[in-house]
Amino acid sequence: MRVISGIYGGRVLKSPADNKTRPTSDRLRETLFNVLAPRIDEETRFLDICAGTGAIGIEALSRGVEFVTFVDKSKRACALIEENLDKLGVPESQTEILGLDAENFAGRDHTVGWDIAFFDPPYDAEYGIVLHEFGNNSTLLNEGGILVAEHHSKRHLPDEVGSLRRWRMLKQGETTLSFYTRD
């Protein structure tokens, strides 16, 4: 697995030794960031939930976002993300890593929101709780913010959840990206 583009482009990221983590493919990451590119700048705050290896958040950093918050309940995943960030020399002032499950994180009030959030739980996970929190918790996404949920193509996510409205779906193989924005 490698960083596709930006200042860390071409650099190889460490992957977990087990098969429990399902990293987002290089091709799907490229598609994702082609859609997100117009919304990324040096003031963008990015959230990577169920971060696994951290590849999505690292790609966002490589492409110029200001700050990334990585969230994963696994201590091993958090350690792997830290290792990948250190390997690339990413300044600690640009990141934070939180060892929390997605539901716990999304259910909290936050003092600062995010412009883009990427949610990629295991495909058999319950998406509803986190989607509900993003649709009803005004401290998660900034105004005009985007939530992208990666899910199995056979799984149907709702078009609307609270103030979230799905505006785009992209399918690649068995994987679909659902793009939501806040009203």
What one-character-per-residue DSSP string does 22-54 give?
-PPPHHHHHHHHHHHGGG--TT-EEEEET-TT-
pLDDT band per the 50, 70, 90 thresholds, residue 115: very high
Q: Is the pLDDT of residue 110 over 80?
A: yes
Q: Is residue 17 part of a domain?
A: no
Give the single-character DSSP code of 157. P
Q: Is residue 14 part of a domain?
A: no
Q: Is residue 129 part of a domain?
A: yes
What mean pLDDT is predicted for residues 119-139?
A: 91
CA angle 83, 60, 87 (to 5 degrees): 20
> 120 is in which domain, residue-wise?
26-182
| Total count of domains within the chain | 1
Q: Is residue 11 part of a domain?
A: no
Give the residues across from 85 on adjacent strands. Answer: none
Q: Is residue 5 part of a domain?
A: no
Question: Which CATH number covers residue 57?
Answer: 3.40.50.150
pLDDT band per the 50, 70, 90 thresholds, residue 22: low
SS3 78: helix
Q: pLDDT value at position 19?
A: 62
User: What is the edge-to-edge ordering of all strands in the sheet holding 164-172?
Assistant: 95-98, 67-71, 45-49, 114-119, 141-152, 175-182, 164-172, 160-161
What mean pLDDT is predicted for residues 9-34?
A: 83
Q: Is residue 10 part of a domain?
A: no
